[in-house]
Amino acid sequence: MLPYRAVYEVLPGLLKLYKEVVRLPKNVTLEEIAEDPKRYPFFADCIGALDGTYLPISIKGGYTKQAPWRGRKGGLTQNVLMAVDFQMNFMYVLAGWEGTAHDSRVINSAKVKGFEALPGKYYVADAGYSNTPMTLTPYRGVRYHLREQAQVNMRP
Amino acid sequence: MALRNIVERTIGVFKHRFRFFEAGRRNLPLRTQIEVVYALTAVYNFINMYNPDDLDSFQEGENEDIDEDIDEEDARLAEEGSDVGMNQRRDEIARLMWESYC
């Protein structure tokens, strides 16, 4: 069993640390992109990648209270939005949405809470998100990796 | 590797590194459970800054997030919410990539 007292002892400090180390990016083209001819200049304005994931959560109070948290992969989960840079650091996190919440709802809530990209900059995201000025998403139902496309003689 | 995979890998490493918390969260109030997620992402970033080797125990195959499993309803809502200007920008990026590839 985890010593809960210890959780409460370290939590305030770690939440302060969070404010110091989980930060939105600056307005620069990332080295990882600038130095890769496959990515530059196409993704010069990409400042990171984001995705939603499910983390387990424990909800007391019976079935009615638990229902919104019962995600599509089974079990009680929260839908957590996470944005990262290309050194694999978290830049933004929004936790605490019910497992049944749609990704679009979670990101809209994040935007209200201050998740942003500087004008013209964007995060790359999967097709669970809208293609918007802040989130560049792949075409749906299209083959990826240009070599595959060349094989079937198809333009992206 | 797709640019986007970096987030799936990061989440995979994060979940693996802090998998102990699966068992530890049960008797905590909801609010605390949520705060712990923020706390652990801070710890993750801290380790990644000062001693990233400590995150290395993760194996690629353990990453459940790498699949392209997108909920149909999520994808439908996503398409509805897409922006005309950004769709054009995406077309332009695709065109430039295609031309440089040919």
Pair (B23, B65) in one structural domain: yes
What does the pLDDT average to over A23-37? Answer: 80
The DSSP string of A35-90 is T-TTTTTTTTTEEEEEEEEEEE----SHHHHHGGGB-TTSSBEEEEEEEE-TTS-E
Q: What is the mean predicted confidence (pLDDT) over B73-91? A: 93
The minimal CB distance from B2 to the residues A93, A144, A156 is found for A144
Q: What is the mean pLDDT of residues A140-151?
A: 61
Note which residues in 113-152 of chain A have CB less than 8 A from chain B: 122, 124-133, 136-140, 144-146, 150
Comparing A147 with B97, which gets the higher pLDDT?
Answer: B97
Shared domain check, B43 and B76: no
**Residues comprising chain A, all counted:** 156
Minimum CA–CA partner of B34 in chain A: A96
Q: What is the number of structural domains in chain B?
A: 2
pLDDT for B101: 81
Same domain, B63 and B96: no
Residues B61 and B78 in one domain: no
Range of the domain at B83: 70-102
Same domain, B35 and B64: yes
Do B56 and B99 reside in the same domain of the chain? no
Query: Which of B80, B37, B62 minimizes the C-alpha distance to A57?
Result: B37
Same domain? For B78 and B51 the reply is no
SS3 A125: coil
Query: What is the reported pLDDT for B52?
Result: 85
Provide the whole-model pTM: 0.88
ipTM of the complex: 0.87
How far apart CA A143 and CA A146 sit, in angstroms, is 8
Q: Using one digit for the tens of pLDDT, what is the confidence trace for A34-82?
A: 888 888 999 999 999 999 999 999 998 888 999 999 987 778 999 999 9
In percent, the amount of chain A with pLDDT more than 70 equals: 88
Q: What is the pLDDT of residues A75-131, one digit of tens each?
A: 899 999 999 998 899 999 999 999 999 999 999 999 999 999 989 999 999 999 999
Contacts of B95 in chain A (CB under 8 A): 156
Contact B72/A at CB under 8 A? no
What ranges do the domains of chain A cover? 22-151
Question: What long-range pairs does A73-80 form, CB within 8 A, spacing at least 24?
Answer: A78/A54, A78/B33, A78/B34, A78/B37, A79/A52, A79/A53, A79/A54, A79/A103, A79/A106, A80/A52, A80/A53, A80/A54, A80/A55, A80/B37
Q: CA-to-CA distance for A105 and A101, rounded, in angstroms?
A: 7
